[in-house]
Amino acid sequence: ILNVEQSPQSLHVQEGDSTNFTCSFPSSNFYALHWYRWETAKSPEALFVMTLNGDEKKKGRISATLNTKEGYSYLYIKGSQPEDSATYLCALNTGNQFYFGTGTSLTVIP
State the minimum distance, in angstroms, from the CB of residue 56 to another protein.
14
**Residue closer to another protein (CB basis): 43 or 110:** 43
**Residue closer to another protein (CB basis): 81 or 97:** 97
98 binds another protein (CB under 8 A): yes
Cα(105)–Cα(74) distance, rounded to whole angstroms?
15
Cα(94)–Cα(24) distance, rounded to whole angstroms?
14
Binding mask 25-64 for another protein (x = CB under 8 A): ------xx-x-x-----xxxxx--xxx-------------
Cα(64)–Cα(74) distance, rounded to whole angstroms?
5
**Residue closer to another protein (CB basis): 33 or 108:** 33
**Residue closer to another protein (CB basis): 14 or 97:** 97
Cα(94)–Cα(18) distance, rounded to whole angstroms?
31
Site size for another protein (CB under 8 A): 24
- Burial label, 95 (beta-carbon count in 10 A; 0-12, 13-18, 19+): exposed
Cα(68)–Cα(25) distance, rounded to whole angstroms?
9
Name the site residues for another protein (rule: CB under 8 A).
1, 4, 31-32, 34, 36, 42-46, 49-51, 89, 91, 96-103
